[in-house]
Structure 1
């Protein structure tokens, strides 16, 4: 890995370690919000009891925890760059009395597992942040057994993800944010149609296809949405750090107003759309 990519990786580790407390605080909300994406991945991966499953960049443990609950005779290994995020995952596993679940801190671009180890490989919302997307796809493919499925989820286009753009778009209207370099890690880096299909195919996976899944992020109040995004979203915190107190107050006011316009049945509901990509490791 080049020095530049190593720097990106180390920045990612530092960021996720720093925000691990926020993710733990909001874990219950996140579990419910992202559950439909994880379920779609699990179905596509065709996981069965007795399988050995790898969940890459799993953060606080999902969808690996759900898989471990469903395959009592199997085993699930979840990985992440952040040891602090994995500590939350391990705590979640203990709370669910799961004995077939383990964590491993590592880089998705250099997985510490032998070739053809796993019966299924998952990666929910990790690819957007990997320093080298193609290298990570090759690693996920390498550790999958012949005939095993590799399945990932990435965020779709910004216009289909009001959960993120409601606050990020507001920040951008008030602050001149630096334009990230092409290909830099970010929420919508993997959103272009067909991008991940091409990445999976180039990694050696066959029968690759994509499905779009849409769900809703729900908050009790606009203020809860603001608190959530300012406690778990690094780009939001980075953007707000460039604002003076008056500008930050205006941003918050605008965000609360926009969120209130998304109220349905007394709650804030914000569209969340992802692409699920699945491919099969060749038997060659």
Structure 2
């Protein structure tokens, strides 16, 4: 298990470093799309102006930079396995003149912080990719102070997220991909109802709540959706890279045809559903 987990972490580090440019390119679109999920999470964290906060798998910086603005007398530490993603976050923090932020490249399953350090700890859209989620949850709980809030956001079921399942399903159809074993890192790994609540309770957290938040991913054209997904979605790019040119052409054609079902009022609107979960460290 250890060797396998280490291999997955290294693969993910390389992938996210490679895709950091795409996330920087599409930053305005990503900010608008993910805002409802981040806003719901921050409400659960019950931040104060002087809160010390840890963002695990912070990526390119949201909602951590928003947290830093809400806690001007506190401090926000952004961690990620990808130095490339954190460099984008650092650039954004500098552009916003945020001085109460720190950045740390590290593994979520081995956080380099003392016990009982933070007033709030959270992970938005990261847990489902960790090789050993239980280890990361234990670390998040360990570094939280007694009474601190710990939160996460994970994607819901594939059927609730056509923004991803439409293109991933089309790739799988054309390539006849095997179904990955249950528990493997992936977008919808944490989707079953109650899954996250059980994980939070097993990490020793109390007063756990879990609910869903919905929004739409909106694009003006099929072309812009295709460009967005191939720039930011590692699973999409990997699937397409393994297909030959003829298959890639067919996949693109089929995706464009399917997107027609989601056209409303002159735009493509794709449902996006995530689970927000939070608990308190006793």
- Residue aligning to 1:91: 91
Within 1, Cα distance between the matches of 2:24 and 2:180? 28
Q: Which residue of 1 aligns with 2:138?
A: 138
Q: Output aligned runs, 1:170-249, within 5 Å.
A: 170-249=170-249
- 2-side partners of 1:274 and 1:176: how far apart? 27
Q: Are 1:123 and 2:123 an aligned pair? A: yes
State the secondary structure of the residue aligned to 2:148. strand
What secondary structure, in the 3-state scheme, does the structure 1 residue paired with 2:147 have? strand
Match status 1:106 vs 2:95: no
Tell me the distance in 2 between the aligned counterparts of 1:24 and 1:177: 30
Alignment size in residue pairs: 282
Structure 1 position 180, deviation (Å)? 1.6
Aligned equivalent of 1:25: 25
SS at match of 1:274: strand
Instruction: Give distance in 2, aligned partners of 1:198 and 1:157.
Output: 17
SS in 2 for 1:54: strand
Counterparts of 1:131 and 1:171 in 2: how far apart (Å)?
24
Provide TM-score, normalisation by structure 2.
Answer: 0.98
Residues 195-254 of structure 1 show CA distances to partners (whole Å, capped at 9, x for unaligned) of 111111010000111010001111121100000111111111111122221221111011
Which residue number corresponds to residue 147 of structure 1? 147
Question: How many Å separate the matches in 1 of 2:8 and 2:208?
Answer: 28
Deviation, 1:261, is 2.2
Residue 260 of structure 1 deviates from its aligned partner by 2.6
4+ long deviations beyond 6 Å? none
Extract unaligned runs of 5+ from structure 1.
none
Alignment root-mean-square deviation, CA: 1.0
Q: TM-score, normalised by structure 1?
A: 0.97
For 1:108 and 1:14, the matched residues in 2 are separated by 16
Q: Map 1:156-175 onto structure 2 (within 5 A).
A: 156-175=156-175
Give the corresponding residue for 2:66.
Answer: 66
Deviation at 1:93, TM superposition (A): 0.4
Determine the C-alpha separation between the residues in 1 that align with 2:90 and 2:20: 13
Structure 2: how far apart are the matches of 1:240 and 1:7? 22
Gaps of 5+ in 2: none
Q: Distance in 2 between matches of 1:253 and 1:69?
A: 43
Matching residue of 1:47: 47
Looking at structure 2, the residues matched to 97 and 178 of structure 1 have their Cα atoms a distance apart, in angstroms, of 47
Q: Which moved more, 1:39-48 or 1:241-250?
A: 241-250
SS in 1 for 2:189: coil
The 2-side partners of 1:63 and 1:31 are apart by 9
SS at match of 1:269: strand
What SS does the corresponding residue of 2:237 show, helix, strand or coil?
Answer: helix
Matched residue SS, 2:68: helix
- Tell me the distance in 2 between the aligned counterparts of 1:226 and 1:191: 25
**How far apart, in 2, do the equivalents of 1:146 and 1:201 lie?**
15
Secondary structure (helix, strand or coil) at the match of 1:113 reads coil
Shift of 1:276: 0.4
Corresponding residue SS for 2:212 = strand
Deviation at 1:268, TM superposition (A): 1.2
